[in-house]
Amino acid sequence: MIELTVLEHKLITLLRENSRTSVSALAEELHVSRATVTKTMARLENNETILGYTVRTHKRQATGLLHATSCIEVENRTTRYAIAQLKGIPEIRAIHTTNGAWDLIAELECKDLLDFDRVLRKIREVQGVSNSQTSLHLNSVEC
How far CA 60 is from CA of 48, 92, 93, 140, 143, in Å, comes to 30, 17, 16, 9, 17
Chain region(s) in the chain for CATH 3.30.70.920? 59-136
Give the pLDDT of residue 102. 97
Give the pLDDT of residue 139. 84
59-136: CATH topology: Alpha-Beta Plaits (3.30.70)
pTM attached to this predicted model: 0.62
- CATH no., domain 6-46: 1.10.10
Per run of 10 residues, the mean pLDDT along the chain (length 143 residues) is 86 89 95 96 91 70 81 94 95 95 96 95 96 92 75
Give the pLDDT of residue 2. 77
Chain region(s) in the chain for CATH 1.10.10? 6-46
Please tell me the distance from the alpha carbon of residue 45 to that of residue 39, in angstroms, as a whole number: 10
Please tell me the distance from the alpha carbon of residue 30 to that of residue 7, in angstroms, as a whole number: 8
Give the pLDDT of residue 4. 86
